[in-house]
Structure 1
Amino acid sequence: MKLAAALLLIAATGFDIQGCWGAQVDVEKKIQTVLPGQNATFMCRVAVPLQYCRVEIPGLKTLNLNRGISNADVSYYGQGLDAGQCGFVIHRAEDRNNGDVKCTLGIASEAQESVGTMSLIVARSPKAPELDLSQGTDHLVVYKVDDTIQASCIVRDGRPVANISWFLDNEPIDNSELSMPTVIDLAKENLQSKIQNLTRRLRASDNGKYLRCVAYHDGYPGGISETKRQLDIKYGPLPQRQPIEEFGYEIGKVGVINVTVEANPKPQIEWSVDGQKIREGSHDNTGSMEAEVARDLGNGRYLVSLKIARISKLDTDKEYILTAYNDMGSQDYRVKISTNPEPKGITKFFRQHVYGFEFGVASVIGIVVAILFIILVVSIVIFAKVTGRWCFSGGATVIDYTGGDGSQHHHSDGISGDGVDNPHHQVSSEYINGNDLPIKKDEKIDTAV
């Protein structure tokens, strides 16, 4: 009530509220980011004509602008003061122009000036990103599988602050492995630095890949800058499905057994055929088999080959054992070869997905039999429940043949003992004169003469 009375008093005395507080200034583009040398355009407007348009820009003197007044640094922009517009263009923005920009408007009907405030960000290219990695378990920048790596990336002194993304080669790092980025302000020059940390448990597949910190900023050439470090992760030869089965060999022709081994550092290689050891780069005692030198495929992968000069039927019955070892461990790979074409469909599926867990043929058969057995048991249980047989019959029925008058049998539930008849029970006509033995339909009954 007091507020309403005060407003009425002000209205009665003709006091101009707007003249006291100033008109509301409509500002376009309250924040603009430009590169050095680019233009920046601002517009301040009100709904009434202006007496003057005064502009304050960091690094420049205060300017009084209209359609007839401009200079090399700033020029008027808009439809004129009569239209209530105080617009201006900053030509070739410089680093010194970064900061708050003000437009002060004079209106004939107001005692107070109206002020609009904007922000001009003149981009400054940050420094190149810096990447720092924690040491491995041996206090070197060499890691082992399951080591936890700590990495930190910082992009210093940018305006505005740069954005950061992490990659392993070209694959983005999962956000769960990244901390929230921290922004550090340098108030003196309105510069900002960004820092982000990564925590990752290393695996063999990370070996040889580049951990990349990529920064994005309009001030960079092309808008991007990055730093990267290649990961060196040590691990022993990795296991594979057993046995490795190779198909398509031809009797009487040259055959090559190929196995791709993953290990770091490069493993030593040795083949064993019928108890004979064949080292890398050497032949067996007959000269018909050659263990070729392992070929580096990159990123810890090596192609290991055993060349057989002339495939015979006997060769397809042998088991070829490849042993690969380095300082981190060793691994055996058992290989079987066949002249048959590679199987298709379900057989190939079992080889790729079931054998991949190191199951042999006998294990696969066992799995199939177990599945069939489970299906059979489930079917029997369902059948028993539906037909009310066995454990689902509701209990055994006991028949009392010693009833009081002998004219009617008394039925009782053999489980509950509460005298409730079993609804599924029927007295068989095959029981005669209380005899427990059933009488066949075509069997004659001897009677006393």
Structure 2
Amino acid sequence: MRRRSLRSRLILLVTVAVALAIAACAALSWFIVENQLIRQLDQSILEPEGKGDQKFLLEHCTSDGSPDYHDMATLLRADGSTCSLGSPIVPTEEDRGACEGSGGEPIFRNGVTRDGEAVRVVTLNFGPGVAVLEARPLYHIRITLRNTAILLAAVAAVGVLGAAIAGLLIARTALRPVGRLTKAVEHIAKTEDLDTRIPVTGDDEIARLSSSFNAMTTALAGSRERQKQLVADAGHELRTPLTTLRTNIDLLLRSEQTGRSLDPQAKERLLVNVKAQFAELTTLVADLLQLARGDTDHEPHVELPFHEVVTAAVERARLRGAEVVTELSPWYVVGGAASLERAVLNLIDNAAKFSPGGEVEVRLDGGRLTVRDHGPGLPEEELPHVFERFWRSPSARGLPGSGLGLAIVAQAVAEAGGEVRLANAPGGGAIATIRLPGTLMRRSETDKSV
């Protein structure tokens, strides 16, 4: 069974709700009218009678009634005998009880005459052992109630029709932004055009949904643009070592194919160059794989001693020839040990590259890690770009590197919930600062002490 559209369901809901409300109001109105008419009829029956009326009733009533009278009255005696003017009223046990009392409250009920006509009956005590039953026909009231019911039904039908039309208009107006959103989603699905935007008006739920949709498409467009840029930059960066590799290998092959052997030293230089290019390619591919990971595609985050991670990175940097002095205090963070160690190592390698022969100072205190070099520093206009992928300072074009090291640092620190910045240090050189949320003691040790 095909499910109804949101618009048809909204129209149906409004129509049913209004129809139920109109039906309830119509039924209530009908009962109020009926009650009012019956009350008016009872009051007309209870109009005070003069002694002449009572005498006339006693003198002219008969056991079979007299059909010449429109109004109906029946005297009921304690022995069950009756005497009537007009069509005789059929008494009930309740009416017989009125014969025994004197005065008392009148008895109101619906009844019938001996001819089967429906009437409204009021029973009063007439005297000792006698009760009088007065009645009026219900025919006119029933006609009025029937006409009222027809009128209310017509009004209800018009109301339901109006509710359906109003529901249609309300649905069209209320769902127009949803329709625009649907068309935008279908357009994006068909054309992959992430520049599509939905106009946002007001501050209701639809407006918030439109704003969220625009934010989502903006984020997706930015992500796709970054992916395109990454692929383009990667292709550009890979082209240089691959071209060099191909050139060197072509020289080696040509020397072998032509029988003109290269000078041993030249051949060694070519092979060393090929090895260096392979190493550069390996590093570049590893960096690209590191950056290509999604925000959720990272190693499991656990609580770890960040000072030990920094120590491990410093030892690796020293093996590469860097002179590093450290001043570390304990700090425990939640993150990935491998990615954080890689980030710290990249900062140390970067500092060592720009201060050849100089010391790299690494300090960790209260969750603030600083890595300082004593090189020339950076121009202020270049500082905002240092963490961009493949960005390299013009002064560093001749130095080894792919321009991805600091981008990897920024990604690793962000995954651990921290922040990183690079600035020129007082007295010369540059200083990189990482701030990571954490504690001085392991949480397990803190819980035990508590």
What band does the TM-score fall into relative to the shorter chain?
Answer: under 0.3
Higher helix share: 2
Which has the higher Rg, Structure 1 or Structure 2? 2
**Structure with higher strand content:** 1
**What TM-score do you get using the length of structure 1 for normalisation?**
0.22
Scaled by the length of structure 2, the TM-score of the pair is 0.22
